[in-house]
Amino acid sequence: MNLQEQPATDADFNLEEAEFNWEEYLEETGCIAAPHSFFKHVDTSLKNGLSPGMRLEVPHGTESQVYWIANIITTCGKLLLLRYLGCGEDRSADFWCDMVTSDLHPLGWAQQNGKSLRPPEGIREKLQNWEEFLAENSTGVSSAPAHLLEGPHRGKDPLDLFGPGSKLELQHCRDSIVAWPVRVLENTGGRLQLQYEGVSDCVWLFYLHPSLHQVGWAAQHKYDMQPPQAISHLKSEEEWKEILTKWETDPGDCVPAEFFQEQLPLPVHSFLAGMKVEALDPSNPSCFMPATVTKVFSEQYLENCNIDDS
């Protein structure tokens, strides 16, 4: 009998049936689990990009060319529970729509495309002047993002926008005012394997990492496009320039800029040049060292922070 034909033993079956139990493990070891609130990025990654309170335009049930505004009440994957504007707290008329198959549009779409915008008859009967009501309820509202309702990315979860081959710009970890192009090689549950343009070197980052930006971000902020120090020695300066030129002329598949507009902006800092801080030692990431802020580039970034001599 060869090894492949050996029968399974009782120990093998017991091993297959055994399941790890976190509650038992924590009780036996006396350890404390990290609270769920520490992993807000995971909750964010499970969302479809739309949230309660956003508004969009939807056609009437019997009038396909006539639209009215609806509020998003809740979301469940690609399904949206909507309520027409003017229904107040009345939940009896709430209805479900599928983001992929339903005729949904951002605010302003009907006017831009020559469609009528008026409430269903039941709502018109409740309102003395629905046009005045619409004007009063059109300020300070949040529209559902257009790229989630229309075009090639319609109905896609934000995480799915980062498919293999997608182009991005990656901000340097040691120099915040410099970036370099990267492409997505693999997306595993939002963990992206990113390949630096021009070389085979890769880095892994979560897709919500603040160092990831849409194509054109560096130029928009007048930042430099240069390869990171870890790979800069692999090519000559002329070769890097050629790689960057080719990248800029390659249409490729870019992650929509709208995705990044929905991200929270970096908070404004109050650091001043000359301030002393504790900084992570780049040569030994397990240690913190005394450091000095040598230059402040903007309200979000420090251009330089030098480790003090010991």
Q: What are the helix (H) ranges across the chain?
A: 10-17, 22-29, 40-45, 109-112, 121-126, 130-136, 146-149, 217-220, 229-232, 237-249, 257-261
Mark whether 140 and 183 lie in a shared domain.
no
Round to whole Å and give the CA distance between 170 and 182: 6
Average pLDDT of adjacent 10-residue blocks, the chain of 310 residues: 49 57 86 79 64 89 80 86 89 87 89 88 85 83 82 73 91 83 92 94 90 91 90 93 91 79 68 80 73 75 63
Mark whether 223 and 286 lie in a shared domain.
no
Tokens representing 243? 């790689």
pLDDT at 266: 67
Mark whether 165 and 83 lie in a shared domain.
no
Domain limits for position 76: 55-149
The amino acid present at 15, given as its one-letter code, is L
pLDDT at 192: 92
Check which CATH number belongs to the domain holding 144 and give it: 2.30.30.140
- Does a structural domain hold residue 24? no
Mark whether 124 and 168 lie in a shared domain.
no
Round to whole Å and give the CA distance between 199 and 280: 27
pLDDT at 15: 45
pLDDT tens, position by position, 27-48 = 888 888 888 777 776 666 556 6
pLDDT at 276: 83
Mark whether 96 and 129 lie in a shared domain.
yes
Mark whether 209 and 246 lie in a shared domain.
yes
Contact 120, 130 (CB under 8 A): no
The last residue of a domain, from among 115, 149, 183? 149
Mark whether 163 and 251 lie in a shared domain.
yes
The last residue of a domain, from among 149, 178, 202? 149
Round to whole Å and give the CA distance between 147 and 162: 14
pLDDT at 13: 46
pLDDT at 42: 65
Find how far residue 69's CA is from the centre of its chain. Answer: 26
pLDDT at 157: 72
Mark whether 232 and 145 lie in a shared domain.
no
- Does a structural domain hold residue 36? no
- Does a structural domain hold residue 50? no
Give me the number of domains the chain comprises.
3
pLDDT at 7: 54
- Does a structural domain hold residue 137? yes
pLDDT tens, position by position, 174-206 = 777 889 999 999 998 888 999 999 999 999 998
Contact 244, 215 (CB under 8 A): no
Mark whether 133 and 174 lie in a shared domain.
no
Round to whole Å and give the CA distance between 169 and 246: 15
Mark whether 134 and 226 lie in a shared domain.
no
- Does a structural domain hold residue 209? yes
Round to whole Å and give the CA distance between 180 and 183: 10
Mark whether 145 and 163 lie in a shared domain.
no
- Does a structural domain hold residue 73? yes
- Does a structural domain hold residue 162? yes
pLDDT at 26: 84
pLDDT at 180: 95
- Does a structural domain hold residue 9? no
The last residue of a domain, from among 149, 166, 199? 149
Mark whether 105 and 65 lie in a shared domain.
yes
